[in-house]
Amino acid sequence: MKKITVAILLIALLAGFARAEGAPSKPVGYPYMGFDKPGGVTSVVGYAARGFFLLALITPLMALPKDQGDGLSLTFGLKDLDNNKDWGSAGSQEAMIFHGNVTPEGWPFALSIDYLQSSHESEKHSGSTEEVGLGIRKKVFETEHFSGFAGGGPALFGAVEEIEDRETLEDSKDRDRDALGFWLDAGLRLIFRTHFSDERPNLPITLGADVRYSKAKVRLFGEKKDAGGLTAGFSIGSGW
């Protein structure tokens, strides 16, 4: 499991490096990490720090016995914010979701820890959201090569919006990170059985597709806006 964990984190960091290389010179930042502050760390270092944040989230899962149905996955896709006209050009954002799941022995469902980040960056209007969610997931069906699941739970939401003033051409930025909401998701998985190690001779590597809906209101520039929306993408992981 540790090897899979490291591999998934490396994929996340490489994706971050790629996005950082193509990002504008003034990244919008994220509500919880604080990388949008003047004089803050660079985008690349920011993504590395997020990798350690994900590692902190999954450490409790790694400490559990291996026979408890643990699973990790990453989803890459797009998040279409509810009422996205309120966000201007930032209404549709690139998104990445980390899923951590563990099924305690004898339980009919898994406990889940999720982290979602999304962003859109441009010269005149940029925005980003983050979600830290807890909840449960249950496999709706499972065969030798396919599985499907559904889940949901509460989440903490944050958002950042940056707008260029038309008259002064200066950037104004606002942040909200105290919003509560919920999330629901469903997904399909294609399962490959691998002999990854002697400890896990039948470790399942999964490829799949996810759909996630989330809902929460944030206050930016004195107005309430939706920080949730519909996120869809493709995933890679192990177990789930």
Give me the residue spans of the domains in the chain.
2-238
Residue 130: other Cβ atoms inside 10 A: 22
The verdict on pTM exceeding 0.85 is no
Which H helix or E strand runs over 136?
A: strand 125-142
Average of per-residue pLDDT across 200-222:
87
pLDDT in tens, 100-125: 888 887 888 899 999 999 999 887 78
Q: Measured between alpha carbons, how far is residue 149 from residues 11, 76, 82, 115, 137 in Å? A: 23, 18, 24, 18, 7
Q: Which residues on neighbouring strands pair with residue 218, listed in sequence order?
A: 225
Q: What is the mean pLDDT of the chain?
A: 77
Tell me the fold of 2-238.
Answer: Porin (2.40.160)
For residue 47, give the 3-state DSSP assignment.
helix
Closest CA to 149 of 93, 196, 88, 101: 101
Strand-pairing partners, residue 204, are 193
* 172-196 pLDDT, tens digit each: 888 888 899 999 999 999 988 765 5
* Cβ count within 10 A of residue 104: 12
Q: Which residue, among 102, 57, 103, 71, has the nearest Cα to 237 in the 3D structure? A: 71
pLDDT digits (tens, 9 = 90+) for 17-73: 444 444 444 455 565 555 444 333 344 445 555 655 666 656 655 555 544 457 888
Bridging pattern class, strands 217-220 and 203-215: unpaired
What are 55-60's contacts with CB under 8 Å, separation 24+? 55/5, 55/9, 57/98, 57/100, 57/113, 57/115, 58/5, 58/100, 58/113
Cβ neighbours, 10 Å, residue 222:
6
CA distance 64 to 135: 18
